[in-house]
Amino acid sequence: MPPRAIFEQKCMSAGMNSHDGRVERFRSDLSALRPSDVIRKYITTGSPVAITEDVYFALRSLVAGQFNLHPSAVVLVGSARTGFSIAPKKRYREARENSDLDVALVSSERFDQYWDDVFAYSTTDIAWERSGSYRAFVRMLFSGWIDPRGLPNVPRFEHAARWTNFFDNLMQSRRFGPRRITARLYRTWSRLEAYQEKAVRLQRSLEKAGPSLRCQENGL
């Protein structure tokens, strides 16, 4: 390949790896690919943008080891994964050095354990069944995920306390920088992708709506 062609190829590659380049590539794929393929290309496979592959491997290995999972069952989602947000109010905002690390764990065994324990506990503690934390758990469940952090501090949910302590200690250690670390548990990959698909479909509808609606979403 001639030197000029090599130089132009490097320049093009650098542009595509910039924030604007990543957003434009995502927007192009958003219109050309099925939502499930967009999710698999940008979220559930590949490497994250905001941290290196080595750091990502260390994060996955550490979390997986804590919960006896294979590292492939631990994935980073959110803006640290894509390099930008797809939340409506933060649309395409670039991820920062201190952006949250949003971790998703996929395990039907662990998910069912929490669900079974919640069901059993709700039959013995009527007051909790009427509480805000119970309603929050139900909303999570119907969204396809669980965050054990909100479960009652009782012996039945000792594993939830260990979950909370692990991620709190991981965040406070700053091993992965001065970032907030959040974690959610999904029963299956299809549940994780179904939850992510809501945001992808919303982005697609905003793209089709044109600049005027996008300005409204950004308060302009």
Helix (H, G, I), strand (E, B) or coil at 68: coil
Q: What pLDDT does residue 2 have?
A: 54
Q: What pLDDT does residue 128 have?
A: 87
d(CA 77, CA 60): 12
Query: What are the strands, taking DSSP E only, across the chain?
Result: 74-77, 101-106, 145-146, 181-186
Q: What pLDDT does residue 211 have?
A: 57
Helix (H, G, I), strand (E, B) or coil at 85: coil
CA distances from 36 to 120, 162, 208, 216 (A): 35, 33, 18, 27
Contact 69, 105 (CB under 8 A): yes
The per-residue pLDDT string of the chain (220 residues; one tens digit each, 9 = 90 and over) reads 554 443 334 333 445 578 899 999 999 999 899 999 999 999 999 889 989 999 999 999 999 999 999 999 999 999 999 999 988 788 898 988 888 999 999 999 999 999 999 989 988 888 888 888 889 989 999 989 999 998 998 999 999 999 999 999 999 999 999 999 999 999 999 999 999 999 999 998 888 876 544 445 445 4
